[in-house]
């Protein structure tokens, strides 16, 4: 056949191979659905009144969050009185704890916002007061830091009154 000018078309696949490919694809989809359906947590099919359940749980979680952060504030104050923290570092820790509490309680990104940003967002006045009167001057001002006892009380006020 040397010198032959005939062209041969490419070989075509038969319909059986296409049907086999669709069948395998259908099995994979059915298998994925089956795995997803069997591994999901089961829902309780009984009808219950859930109007009071989540509210009580939320109130309990928020109360626990307040208790946890009041305890953190007390530990920082105890460390300051034991002289393991300087006044400046104690106020820095109070600022960090209060901002983290606000973030966990309400979702506001307080740990990364400056005082001006917090004022612009109209946050609770107790936080603005604590940041402006106690923490910012102690952290950024030259000279001696403000007494952390007042900063601790301001932090407690923020945790107790935040809504």
Asked if 65 and 101 count as a contact pair (C-beta separation under 8 A), the reply is yes
**Tokens standing for residue 41:** 């947590």
Looking at residue 75, what is its pLDDT? 96
Looking at residue 57, what is its pLDDT? 59
Looking at residue 86, what is its pLDDT? 93
Asked if 86 and 143 count as a contact pair (C-beta separation under 8 A), the reply is no
Using CA atoms, how far residue 101 sits from 47, 57, 95, 128, in Å, is 36, 18, 10, 14
Looking at residue 12, what is its pLDDT? 79
3 contact partners, CB below 8 Å, separation of at least 6? none
Using CA atoms, how far residue 149 sits from 94, 140, 154, in Å, is 10, 18, 9
pTM score of the predicted model: 0.64
Looking at residue 121, what is its pLDDT? 92
Looking at residue 145, what is its pLDDT? 84
Any idea what DSSP says for residue 4?
-
Ordered mean pLDDT values, 10 residues apiece, the chain (163 residues): 70 85 97 91 59 61 92 96 94 95 92 92 92 91 89 95 88
Any idea what DSSP says for residue 52?
S
Cα–Cα distance measured from residue 121 to residue 115, given in angstroms and rounded to the nearest whole number: 10
156 contact partners, CB below 8 Å, separation of at least 6? 70, 73
Looking at residue 72, what is its pLDDT? 96
């Amino acid at each position: 056949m040397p010198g032959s000018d005939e062209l041969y078309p490419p070989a075509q696949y038969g319909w059986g191979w296409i049907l086999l490919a669709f069948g395998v694809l259908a099995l994979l989809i059915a298998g994925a659905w089956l795995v997803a359906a069997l591994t999901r947590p089961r829902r309780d099919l009984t009808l219950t009144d859930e109007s009071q359940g989540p509210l009580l749980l939320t109130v309990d979680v928020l109360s626990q969050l307040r208790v946890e952060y009041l305890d953190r504030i007390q530990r920082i104050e105890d460390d300051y009185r034991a002289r393991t923290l300087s006044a400046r570092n104690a106020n820095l820790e109070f600022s960090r704890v209060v901002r983290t509490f606000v973030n966990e309680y309400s979702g506001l990104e307080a740990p990364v916002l400056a005082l001006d940003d917090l004022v612009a967002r109209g946050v609770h006045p107790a936080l603005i007061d604590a940041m402006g009167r106690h923490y910012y001057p102690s952290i950024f001002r030259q000279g001696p830091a403000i007494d952390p006892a007042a900063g601790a009380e301001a932090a407690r006020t923020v945790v107790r009154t935040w809504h």
